[in-house]
Amino acid sequence: MEEDLSDLLKIYGVGAAPSRRAVQPGSNGRPIQLVSNLYNVSVQAPTVYRYEVTIDRIGAKQMVGFKNARKNVTSVRLNQRAVTQFAREGYLGSCVPAYDGRSILYMMRPLPSPITSATVTVNLDDGTECDEFARKQQFEICLKEIGPLSLRTFNQEVVQALDIIVRTGPLIEPSIVPVGRSFFSRTMSNLGDASMRGCRELWFGYFCSIRPGQWKPMLNVNISATLFHEKLPLVDYVVKFLNKNTPDELKNGLKASEHEVLKRELQGVKIKVTHLPYQRRYTVAGISKKGAADYTFEVNGARVSVADYFENHYGIHLRYPALQCVETLTKDGNKNYIPMEVCETIEGQHAKIVNSDQTAVLIRKTAMTPKKRFESIDKFVKKVVNEDAAAHLREFGLQVDLKPVQVKARVLNSPTLEIGKQGTLKPRDGYWRMEGKQFFIGAELSCWGVADCHGSGRCAEFAKSLERLGRNLGMKIEPPAFVRNYQKVPAKKMLSEIKSQFPQIVMTLVIMGRDTEYEVIKQLSENDESLLQITQCIRGSNIESKKCNNNFITNVLMKMNAKLGGINNGLKEVPECMREPFIVFGADVSHPGPTNDIQPSIAAVVGSLDSTPSQYHTVTSFQRSSTCNRLEYIANLKVMIKDCLRAFYRRNRTKPMTLLFYRDGVSEGQFEAVRVFEILQIRMACKELQDDYEPPLTFIVVQKRHHVRFKPLNDADSRHENIPAGTVVEDTVTHPVNFDYFLCSHAGIQGTSKPAHYRVLHDDANRSADELQTISYSLCHVYGRCSRSVSIPAPVYYAHLAAARAKDHFKAANIHPSSTSDGSSGIESGSSLLQKEIGRDLDLHDLKRLSSNVDARMRDYLYYV
């Protein structure tokens, strides 16, 4: 199989990723000096010794119902405690180990034997771990020698080792809670204003990781923030989460809808009980259907209710006997039922975000000016070096320079944009105004109407303003064919009535109310041929608020124009390589949540159709692997690329002579697998269309999920303390071997700007650094939703939006057992048509059928913007 793959790679010209040394640094733009949040690391030790770690929790095989019970390796924190105890008992000699909490351990000196094993006992009485079955746990630990690792050669294995060395100290500190690659504690957070709706509180902490620089490893430290469950008596937690006023509202128990949403909220949450003289902790497995007074079990041959048992056995008279109980699991898999009023949630539990309100509050509260962020980062670096990781840095001979790395950068010139009436404009600080200007190509809107699902009295006035401003912007808009009230009318009935009475309907503006079925509207209007029409959904509260001004309406018109096939603005000047027929692709893979076993991953690919490039053909595809839903590469890419190339040919009557492919959604560990598979698929797609069709291809991964930040060294170079739009970094802090660069293409509105990280994985067009950086920056100026340059190229954004829309279609088809949530309370809203029971498992035929469900006439338009 490997030989077959090797032959295919040779046949289709898929070689190694471009080397940094093969590409001359860029020179366009004016110079600027920056400060980074990276710190040089000096490595004194020549070698470390690696060991493979296996940990068995003794007795775990008898535990039924918990995922960890079926695995040798338990939680990272518990593993760390076990290995720490292993070292305390002398099995590692005098060495201070660096351990990743899973399977790899490093030491400065080798052990006498290649295999070392022992059984240790960990005392859990201090409450740092929740365990239902014992306060003392035994672990069988085995270390197997892998071999020495030289730290003199700088590669990914060395970066991983250094990363584990730095991170081990915080991982074993009891007061610190690790979440992903970040560390949190209450002492790091200013909790005065931390409480949020939905029983969440905001904790601050720090991200900490080693990453390669051009000349040496660097410590990357950034401010992190995430949500944790509030520590509350469980009855108070339920009252707050369900938006009740007092606990007395729970006297009659939970309603069915409340039961479902509370069950989803509490499953997996750790609690402690207050009715015992000693500390006992549990993990919530569910919520009982019946209340404590109604649920009975057998005691000494007689049936007794949970409420009576607690009164007789513990002397506790329940205030809310009708309230449902917490379900937990015993060692043999049986259920325990515990009244909520004797339970409390435990501090330090990471919590999921349950609604968009929490997301908005999180963004607002975590937005820090660069000055404040970098001051806080400096404090955390000192904390890491002098406290949390100090012992391990000393043991392994690592020295961290406490002065942040300074970087030479450049600010690229903004591209000239084409607008209507043969006009041009030059963005300033990543922004331009549309007042007194027209769209480059204004779309025609002959038959349209307004469906008022909100009950607003301003719909007719809003429609007139829309019509007037649209004409000013160069659109050809007729007066609306209708403005009608559709409050409490099901989406399908509304769309059917509109299509029946107005067969030529092109677009319907849907003014959304609280219960408007957004996903259903999109799924029916974009997938159902009999209901086909473009929809523009607007929240009713927005057209009634003060922000419904000309700027707001202009933004709505920008979306409408893009959906209708118009072009808001194009690129006046394109690089030399874009003057022959070319196509730009954007691609993304969106994954379901880690606990979602039903919904597949969704891949989306968009391909440009015009030279501006502002118009795109879109293809989406559902996919899953044989073992899980998360398939990192795009399995159906060859078919999707062929579809885009055919659409390009239909529009232009010629094939593109060059291909530029931007890929989002790839983690660093997946680079090579994605590069090899997807480039091969693109090459095969071209050859299958025409045997001698071999256009040059540039394949770039765009990453936003990283923690590198910059600020200007000199205040005079900053705007709101941020780096200017167009700032590009390709020196010092970039990869020592591979061709990559950071580009901040947008102006920071709030907080600290985050640059995108571009990794060039393939380029047989041999483009220069200046060409690729200029193209990438220019493409950030043709995003149809706003008159600003955005943080990543427009086709990448479009692929992301297309994948999100495919997810809406999937939900609305009643296949995924998910539900929408009321933004204010976390309670399931009446608009949800989604199944509550477990959905059927989709086979490959189902996925292919759903992938192509968007009507063919929609796919050449940006129906998702």
Q: Is the pTM of this model over 0.75?
A: yes
822 — pLDDT class (breaks 50, 70, 90): very low
Per residue in 82-128, pLDDT (tens digit) is 999 999 999 999 999 999 999 999 999 999 999 999 999 998 755 44
Q: C-alpha distances in angstroms, 709 versus 33, 52, 216, 844?
A: 13, 35, 18, 42
Tell me the pLDDT tens digit for each residue of 159-208: 999 999 999 999 888 889 999 899 998 888 764 556 788 899 999 999 99
Determine the Cα–Cα distance for residues 335 and 348; give it in Å rounded to an integer: 25
Which residues on adjacent β-strands are paired with residue 287? Answer: 326
Cα–Cα distances in Å, from 325 out to 269, 305, 316? 14, 12, 15
Dihedral angle sign, alpha carbons of residues 19, 22, 28, 31: positive
CA 600 to chain CA centroid, nearest Å: 16
Quick one: CA torsion of 619, 576, 420, 550, rounded to 10 degrees?
Answer: 60
What average pLDDT does range 313-327 have in this prediction?
97
- In this predicted model, what pLDDT tens digit does every residue of 767-793 receive, in sequence order? 999 999 999 999 999 999 999 999 999
Dihedral class, residue 29 (left if φ above 0, else alpha if ψ from -120 to 50, else beta)? left
Tell me: pLDDT of 826 over 90: no
User: Beta-carbon neighbour count of residue 201 at 10 Å?
Assistant: 18
pLDDT, tens digit (0-9, with 9 covering 90-100), for 418-467: 999 999 999 999 999 999 999 999 999 999 999 999 998 899 999 999 99
β 727-729/406-411 pair status? antiparallel
CA dist 216 and 496 (Å) reads: 64
Cα(212)–Cα(195) distance, integer angstroms = 38
Q: How far apart are CA 323 and CA 176, in angstroms?
A: 35
Spell out the SS3 assignment of 517-558: CHHHHHHHHHHCHHHCCEEEEEEHHHHHCCCCCHHHHHHHHH
Q: Give the DSSP H or E segment for 228.
A: strand 217-229
What pLDDT is recorded for position 65? 39
Q: What are the tens digits of pLDDT across the range 382-392?
A: 999 999 999 99
> With contact defined as beta carbons under 8 Å apart, do 760 and 698 qualify?
yes
How many angstroms separate the CA atoms of 706 and 702, rounded?
A: 11
**pLDDT range class, residue 576, cuts 50, 70, 90:** confident
Residue type, 833: L
Higher confidence at residue 28 or residue 21? 28
Contact call for residues 585 and 641 (beta carbons, < 8 A): yes
Percent of the chain with pLDDT over 70: 89
Per-residue model confidence (pLDDT) at position 823: 32
Pairing of strands 582-590, 658-663: parallel
CA distances from 46 to 148, 150, 389, 396 (A): 10, 6, 20, 10
**CA dihedral sign, ordered 445, 451, 452, 457:** positive
Neighbours of 693 (CB within 10 A): 15
Give the H or E element holding residue 165: helix 156-172
Annotated domain spans of the chain: 42-230+362-405, 234-345, 442-563, 568-821+840-858
Q: How confident is the model at residue 13, as a pLDDT?
A: 65
Average pLDDT over the chain, rounded to an integer: 88
What confidence tens digit (pLDDT) does each residue in 532-548 have? 999 999 999 999 988 89
Contacts of 301 (CB under 8 A, 6+ apart): none
- 839-859: per-residue pLDDT in tens? 334 454 555 555 557 988 899
Rounded-to-integer distance, Cα 671 and Cα 346, Å: 39
The 8-class DSSP code of residue 171 comes to H
Name which CATH class applies to 442-563: alpha beta
Token pair 């105004």 is found at 433
In CATH terms, the fold of domain 234-345 is paz domain (2.170.260)
On the question of pLDDT at 754 being above 60, the answer is: yes
Residue 134: its pLDDT value, please? 55
Sequence-ordered list of residues with C-beta below 8 angstroms from that of 657, at least 6 positions apart, any chain:
580, 581, 582, 695
The pLDDT assigned to 60 comes to: 53
Name the pLDDT band for 578 (thresholds 50, 70, 90).
confident
Mean pLDDT for the stretch of residues 289-309: 94
> 568-821+840-858 — its CATH code?
3.30.420.10
Read off the pLDDT band of 10 (50, 70, 90).
low
